[in-house]
Chains A and B, each alone.
Chain A
């Protein structure tokens, strides 16, 4: 077993030496050509041309209640309908990440449009039409749909963080503070809205089940499908080689995975289910709405004395996951007395779960707005204010930071952006109809390393194939694993192949929490080290003295092609990475700073982003192009969260009103200006053997707040209720409309 446990800082590695010269380079995606030419099959496209049946989910028609009866006779009578499955086994929604199983409906409706039955037919169209013929009778119950009513408040589970983190006596310190800041921010519910709708194809061969699905975490997915279908986990194999975006919504398997298996079992042939866009909104998972009270006590000259971030968020019955909005407040700024706390308000709406950067994505919309507000009240530049309150160690428990370049990000960003030209007073710069403002915000995203394994097989001709049950959700995993293997082994990129997305391969961390590159990448590092050790042994040299380049091992004055070392045989090794002491002995996070220029229309309050710059530091960057693309995505989400996105809950009945992409507004091209991303050189030797940190979720953290702060600078109006739509600005806009036009 070739295993590396991250118990201490990593020293210099072959990645630092860069002999092959491919690590870090912005090379094209490994699977890029397959994707752009339509040759990369997504889940639903498997078994094309085979004899399959099609499933369609029947959504429930009430918010909360019991299912009295399901009359499927009309549906079943329709020619082409093979079966209608109802009853307790139907899944409520997606499974929570890493949960043993998805929740089942057990005769009840837990949220509006919850799946209540499944129709299977010989065509998609027939199944869809039959879904309208299934008559369900309900006994409606009173539901709880409004988080602000706080009808049921309970402790969340201690995942992904402890709900309460306290140090010292916040209340006492706040009462004594020279300056007291106390404001409440709210964020609405959001949906991941990945481009590829959740879809699955299930096929039995005897008692063995194969499921092609769109899933980020395959290891736990196997268990969830097995539990839902009521079969042995050993009999389930899951494939997810290509995924059209996940953003957390595919961490747990979605209802189609279990339902396609149940369907295949029932009708005796493979079943395909693609959720409709409406189903995706109604029956997978969402990000919970939040109410966040921020209290900061400071001295008049700008030193933060105490910091409190208290949050209400929501989930449905039986779900303990919470949106951890205070996750970055624990460590981001100084302050002796601290209180970061979360409550869960139970509501009868679609379950909430992880969506890109759970915690930071919502929490920093609040805290980074609050910091800007307080800096403004104190008359201090917001960058200077943040720098004055930079902690030397984690203020919660005094652990050292593994690496932290927040100040460098702010300074570099300020210089590149021209922060010195920021309008000194709000609402002071105008260009015709447009009010111009600058804003900035910090970014941080907690880093984590997960256990992960990978195999490298060296074929007799010296080529390498990397295999792991890892997923690539569009982030670039294929490519960075190829680059790591190529750099470590001294192979040109085209001599390295990568196979992912199959649970028959070595178990991996999966994609989530920005841990994928570090975890799966480190397992490839470990496997490569094992290959090199074997090479060294065969050449009778110390591995450290071996230089590998272009498929040759160089030892002293010898240069031996790999094929010669392999001597006509293939060599296969598996490497495993495990988190260790460094995740406790150091505090690990990626950092960044966002800078934004907005123009707000003085007549209508419409906001346009003119410039957006993110400077980030996330340890070693494995591929400049895919890392930058991740940041672009985060910036664009930030535009959505700041200005547009809101999953609207009708608090009378729990309906998610805007459950399609016409009315759930994500940014369109016209909303997005030219984006700038700068990644600073950094190595974090405590984070992983790669010396990298997570980057996938860094850029979404705080970017919406930078936009908010720019809108304040442009208009003098501070909005604490996201999204910042025009109706929230109108009252504060100038009245000289005729002059504006």
Chain B
């Protein structure tokens, strides 16, 4: 771990001005600093900021403070009642100990688990731009099949963000100049493209203050995570579904996917194809066709293509049952 400066932010507007890497739970950043995969010159501790509340909003939704822990969020009765897909996704991630420390904002910003990213002697465009990609042609079982580039095939490891994507969450931030903005979660994370080291649209010093969930629209909510052991493993494929049925037909469906791409994945064409249709195996296959039309395996992760199809079909079958 490289020596670093430490500062504690006393209030939200000061945090950005302290000009350093924000640290809250530290469940990912500290590991990376020990390996010197990350070597920030300054850490700004934001854990004392008053961002640990879950509040009702005027439009009937919820505002989740950036410092609300994953454990508290998963256990919140409003989340469990109206946004159960989020609670289930959170509980499918990490371990109890990690969820006690990990925060809402930090979860969005966690970095990939690619083995080449974690090994400083290997090429990695995300860790060291321009050095190459060890995972392409290497061991890429956990890597992306959608939206990849020839610079990076890493995945985003969050479960929480996948469920939030299906719930059409927005990310509330404050910039260093004190201005605030709301970023739809779908626009928050970037694809790897030519600059895999840039993972979000956040500007330097811009602080996540909250995640907003719009008023619950009901519907059947499912989170299904497929992984290599029963717990404490990152998703190979995960699907978050919120589906509203009406008279035996799909009134609307929102679906998001983890383990497939550099960001939590959503496909509006897929959702449009489901709208107004009666559930059937053929329809689900059509949805999978749309999702996976441009899917590209990297060798070790080729199985994710049929696995994503099967998982999506099973989730749709489950989410379209009953009213």
User: Restricting to A522-560, which residues have a CB under 8 Å from any CB of B?
Assistant: none
B-chain residues with CB within 8 Å of residue A48 when the two chains form the complex: none
Tell me the bound Cα distance from A314 to B273 in angstroms. 53
Tell me the bound Cα distance from A209 to B83 in angstroms. 63
B-chain residues with CB within 8 Å of residue A132 when the two chains form the complex: 2, 36, 120
The B interface is mostly helix, strand or loop, or mixed, namely loop
User: Restricting to A32-77, which residues have a CB under 8 Å from any CB of B?
Assistant: 59, 61-62
| A391 to B: closest C-beta gap in Å | 38
A-chain residues with CB within 8 Å of residue B310 when the two chains form the complex: 603-604, 730, 733, 737
A-chain residues with CB within 8 Å of residue B307 when the two chains form the complex: 604-605, 726-727, 730
B-chain residues with CB within 8 Å of residue A740 when the two chains form the complex: 314, 317
- B57 lies within 8 A of chain A by Cβ: no
Tally of contact residues, B, Cβ under 8 A: 42
User: Restricting to A688-741, which residues have a CB under 8 Å from any CB of B?
Assistant: 725-727, 730-731, 733, 737-738, 740-741
Q: Which listed segment binds A: B67-75, B171-179, B227-235?
A: B227-235
Tell me the bound Cα distance from A93 to B138 in angstroms. 25
A-chain residues with CB within 8 Å of residue B113 when the two chains form the complex: 662-663
B-chain residues with CB within 8 Å of residue A650 when the two chains form the complex: 134, 138-139
Contact between B314 and A655 (Cβ–Cβ < 8 Å)? Answer: no
- A433 lies within 8 A of chain B by Cβ: yes
Tell me the bound Cα distance from A663 to B233 in angstroms. 8
- B60 lies within 8 A of chain A by Cβ: no
- A668 lies within 8 A of chain B by Cβ: yes
B-chain residues with CB within 8 Å of residue A731 when the two chains form the complex: 306
- A669 lies within 8 A of chain B by Cβ: yes
- A474 lies within 8 A of chain B by Cβ: no
| A605 to B: closest C-beta gap in Å | 8
Contact between A655 and B1 (Cβ–Cβ < 8 Å)? Answer: no
Contact between B139 and A669 (Cβ–Cβ < 8 Å)? Answer: no
What is the number of contacts between chain A and chain B, taking CB atoms within 8 Å? Answer: 107
- A3 lies within 8 A of chain B by Cβ: no
| B3 to A: closest C-beta gap in Å | 7
- B226 lies within 8 A of chain A by Cβ: yes
Tell me the bound Cα distance from A738 to B1 in angstroms. 50
Contact indicator per residue, chain B 290-323, by CB within 8 Å of chain A (1) or not (0): 0000000000000100110011011101100100
A-chain residues with CB within 8 Å of residue B231 when the two chains form the complex: 668-671
Chain A minimum-CB-distance residue to B284: A738
Contact indicator per residue, chain A 123-150, by CB within 8 Å of chain B (1) or not (0): 0010011001000000000000000000
The A interface is mostly helix, strand or loop, or mixed, namely loop
A741-B34 contact, Cβ under 8 Å, with A61-B121, A606-B226, A650-B139: no
- A667 lies within 8 A of chain B by Cβ: yes
B-chain residues with CB within 8 Å of residue A669 when the two chains form the complex: 231
Contact between B1 and A129 (Cβ–Cβ < 8 Å)? Answer: yes
- B115 lies within 8 A of chain A by Cβ: yes
- A269 lies within 8 A of chain B by Cβ: no
Contact between A671 and B115 (Cβ–Cβ < 8 Å)? Answer: no
- A644 lies within 8 A of chain B by Cβ: yes
Chain A minimum-CB-distance residue to B135: A657
Contact between A603 and B314 (Cβ–Cβ < 8 Å)? Answer: yes
Tell me the bound Cα distance from A648 to B227 in angstroms. 17
- B247 lies within 8 A of chain A by Cβ: no
Tell me the bound Cα distance from A603 to B116 in angstroms. 30
- A600 lies within 8 A of chain B by Cβ: no
Tell me the bound Cα distance from A491 to B278 in angstroms. 78
- B13 lies within 8 A of chain A by Cβ: no
Contact between A128 and B139 (Cβ–Cβ < 8 Å)? Answer: no
A660-B121 contact, Cβ under 8 Å, with A604-B310, A726-B226, A730-B310: no
Please give the residue numbers on chain A whose beta carbons come within 8 Å of chain B beta carbons, in ascending order.
59, 61-62, 113, 125, 128-129, 132, 278, 433, 603-606, 608, 643-644, 648, 650, 652, 655, 657-660, 662-663, 665, 667-671, 725-727, 730-731, 733, 737-738, 740-741
Pick 12 A–B contacts, CB within 8 A, sort by A: A59-B121, A62-B121, A278-B35, A643-B229, A652-B137, A657-B116, A668-B229, A730-B310, A738-B284, A738-B317, A740-B317, A741-B318
Please give the residue numbers on chain B whose beta carbons come within 8 Å of chain A beta carbons, in ascending order.
1-3, 34-36, 113, 115-116, 118-122, 134, 137-139, 142, 226-233, 236, 280-281, 284, 303, 306-307, 310-311, 313-315, 317-318, 321
When A and B form their complex, which 9 residue pairs have the shortest distance between CB atoms, in order from nearest?
A727-B303, A61-B121, A741-B317, A670-B230, A670-B231, A657-B115, A738-B317, A603-B314, A741-B314
Contacts A113-B121, A726-B303, A727-B303 given; 6 further ones with Cβ under 8 A?
A62-B121, A132-B36, A604-B310, A606-B230, A670-B231, A671-B231
